[in-house]
Amino acid sequence: MSRPIDWKILATDGEARSGLITTRRSVIETPVFMPVGTQGAMKGVRFEWLEQEFDARIILGNTYHLFLRPGAEVISALGGLHKFSTWDRSLLTDSGGFQVFSLSELRKLTEDGVEFRSHIDGSKQFLSPEVSMDVQAALGSEIVMVFDECPPGDAGIDATRKSLELTARWAKRSREHFDKLQEKGADSGFVHSSDLSGGQALFGIIQGAGHLDLRQESLERTIEIGFDGYAIGGLSVGEEKSVMYNVLEYITPKMPVDRPRYLMGVGTPEDLIEAVDRGVDMFDCVMPTRNGRTGGAFTSRGKLNIRNAKYLKDDSPIDADCGCSVCRRCSRGYIRHLYQAGEMNAATMISHHNLAFYLDTMKRVRQSIKSGSFARFRGEFLSKLRENEDQVG
């Protein structure tokens, strides 16, 4: 049977790689930043912009949120997440695990899965590898993530090992149930294709926190099960930056060359560049839209907080080097006024710019890898990024 996704490396520069992931719905150039569409929508930014202005080829949907509201059954009845949300390019859905462990209260973790109370109405809910695979099949995403347990970033070695063992057993159950669902045709996003299988791809997740030997073990056990791509989980959860860079430096070169590598939930523009330098292909993070809502802008000259008084009479754009439609049209002074006035366009405009900046940065990363000048690009990009450091948040 042909594979659900195709992965091709076009160029490498040191550990950095630029490639193409072809799914049943779009061709994705890597390294890629995937904007996060938590509730089946991008917060504050319409899909029209993502398609026409940013040319985003893949976005994320959150299983936890969609599972609780409106529920897999509703989305399935309305034709799957693509048809329901009108996003017809690629979707990656997470497993719900990360949110269960970070958002919900009163969790009861067993071998079978995790029981928790919904953060919306307090109702009792249950997620397991099987339920997560069922939900992701109903959503019909192109890339499905295994259901894993996410230990806190500062977990000690014993707790991390225990969690890793459970994650390995859950990964196997995820794989088995996923395969059954594909056979049964439960995937609502199936697309007939002559080159690809038309079904969903499944990615495994490497855990192990900051413990390199456990990362190695998790990698081996995940590869043994076999997946279409491999993700690095459990980073950017409160640990020191140096821990993340050390783990990446250690584990990424050991990951299969012939599969895409995805660093989950990361990060700042600097994190992205540093992770690409260590061989990562895919990223997602809520920061561009979350910070955008509170007045935080990411620019080529560092972070900017539009609420600062120094922008009151500033008639320059958020980022003079950005070609997005907000920067072409509006001044910092104007957007600051909108923010102070509680005008919702302020949040929308900054989120818009932030996503444009992230996607444009990745485009420049790809070009520099292809032209063999990534090291120079990285140096220049990072030093410019340090020019401005407003407190954002």
For Zn ion, the closer CB: 324 or 365: 324
Taking CB under 5 A as the binding criterion, the range among 99-107, 223-231, 323-331, 365-373 that sits at the site for Zn ion is 323-331
Catalytic, out of 94, 187, 228, 319? 94
> For the purposes of burial, counting CB atoms within 10 Å of the CB of 117, is it exposed (0-12), middle (13-18) or buried (19 or more)?
middle
**Other beta carbons less than 10 A from residue 257's beta carbon:** 11
Is 45 a binding residue for Zn ion by CB under 5 A? The answer is: no
In the complex, minimum distance from the CB of residue 299 to Zn ion, in angstroms, rounded to a whole number? 8
350 binds Zn ion (CB under 5 A): no
CB of 301 to Zn ion, least distance (A): 12
284 catalytic? Reply is: yes
**Binding status of residue 322 toward Zn ion by CB under 5 A:** yes
Residue with Cβ nearer Zn ion (272 or 324): 324
Distance CA 142, CA 24 (A): 7
- Nearest-CA neighbor of 359 among 301, 250, 235, 272? 272
Tell me if residue 169 falls in helix, strand or coil.
Answer: helix
> Which residue do the tokens 């279409």 mark?
228
Question: What DSSP designation does 310 have?
Answer: G
- 32 contacts: CB under 8 Å, gap ≥ 6: 21, 57, 58, 281, 282, 283, 362
Q: How far is the CB of 284 from Zn ion (least distance, A)?
A: 20
User: Is there binding between residue 139 and Zn ion (CB under 5 A)?
Assistant: no
**Alpha carbon 37 to its chain's center:** 10
* Smallest distance from Zn ion to CB 285, Å: 18
Q: 205 burial class (0-12, 13-18, 19+ CB within 10 angstroms)?
A: buried
Q: Which of 324, 350, 359, 392 binds Zn ion (CB under 5 A)?
A: 324
Out of 155, 327, 349, 392, name the contact with Zn ion by CB under 5 A: 327
Q: Which stretch binds Zn ion (CB under 5 A): 1-9, 69-77, 109-117, 347-355?
A: 347-355
Amino acid, single-letter form, for residue 173: R
Active-site choice (13, 148, 284, 319): 284
Q: Residues 352-371: x/- map of binding to Zn ion (CB under 5 A)? A: -x--x---------------
319 is catalytic: no
Note whether 332 binds Zn ion by CB under 5 A. Answer: no
Rounded least distance, CB 320 to Zn ion, Å: 9
**Which residue in 389, 325, 311, 329 sits closest to 357, CA to CA?**
325
Q: Which tokens belong to 256?
A: 């299969």
- Convert 315-383 into a string of H (helix), E (strand) and C (coil): CCCCCCCCCCHHHHHCCHHHHHHHHHCCCHHHHHHHHHHHHHHHHHHHHHHHHHHHCCCHHHHHHHHHH
Please give the size of the binding site for Zn ion, defined by CB under 5 A: 5
Q: Is 32 left (phi over 0), alpha (psi -120 to 50) or beta?
A: beta
Q: Which is nearer to Zn ion, 205 or 324 (CB)?
A: 324
Q: Which is nearer to Zn ion, 189 or 296 (CB)?
A: 296
Q: Are 361 and 369 in contact (CB under 8 A)?
A: no
Least Cβ distance, residue 318 to Zn ion (angstroms): 5
Stretch of 93-101, 236-244, 324-332, 379-387 contacting Zn ion, by CB under 5 A: 324-332
Q: Which is nearer to Zn ion, 173 or 353 (CB)?
A: 353
* Binding-site ranges for Zn ion (CB under 5 A): 322, 324, 327, 353, 356
Catalytic site positions: 94, 284
